[in-house]
Amino acid sequence: MLAARAVEDALAQATVEDFSAHRAAKMKRGKGIAGALYSMTPPGFPNPCAVNMQMREDGSVVVQIGITEMGQGSQTVLTQMTAEALAVPFDQVTVYPADTGMTPYDFGTVSSRGTFVGGNALLKAAAQVKDVLFDAASAKLGVSKEDLTLEAGFVRDIHDPERRMAIGEAARFAHFALKKLAMGSAYYYPKSSAAGENMQGEVIAAFYYHATVAEVEVDTETGLAEVTKLYAVVDCGKAVNPSLVEGQVQGGALQAVGWALREDGHPGLIDSNGPPQNYNPEFMPVDLETYAIATSMDMPEIHAGYVEVHDPEGPFGAKAAGEISANSGAPAVFNAIYDAVGIRLVDMPATPEKILWALQHKAQAEQSTGRALESGGR
Per-residue pLDDT tens digits for 263-291: 876 544 555 566 556 556 665 666 667 77
Least Cα distance to 362 among 354, 350, 373 occurs for 354
- The active-site residue out of 323, 353, 366, 374 is 323
pLDDT in tens, 342-377: 999 988 889 898 999 999 999 888 887 766 666 665
Q: Provide the pLDDT for residue 283.
A: 59
Query: Does pLDDT of 104 surpass 80?
Result: yes
Q: Provide the pLDDT for residue 24.
A: 66
Among the residue ranges 15-24, 52-61, 91-100, 259-268, the one predicted with the least confidence is 15-24
Among the residue ranges 56-65, 213-222, 293-302, the one predicted with the least confidence is 293-302
Q: Mapping DSSP to helix (H, G, I), strand (E, B) and coil, where does residue 139 land?
A: helix
Q: Provide the pLDDT for residue 274.
A: 60
Q: How many CB atoms lie within 10 A of CB 346?
A: 6
The verdict on whether omega for the bond into residue 48 sits within 30 degrees of 0, i.e. cis, is no
Q: Do domains 24-40+207-366 and 49-188 have the same CATH topology?
A: yes
- What amino acid is encoded at 301 in this protein? E
> Please, what is the average pLDDT of the chain?
85
Among the residue ranges 7-11, 173-177, 256-260, the one predicted with the least confidence is 7-11
The strand pairing partners of 212, in sequence order, are 34, 232
The CATH number given to 49-188 is 3.30.365.10
- Average pLDDT value for residue range 317-324: 90
323 catalytic per annotation: yes
pLDDT in tens, 161-173: 889 999 999 999 9
User: Domain coordinates of the chain in residue numbers?
Assistant: 24-40+207-366, 49-188
The strand pairing partners of 182, in sequence order, are none
pLDDT in tens, 114-140: 899 999 999 999 999 999 999 999 999
Supply angle C-alpha 362, 370, 23, rounded to 5: 45
24-40+207-366: CATH topology: Aldehyde Oxidoreductase; domain 4 (3.30.365)
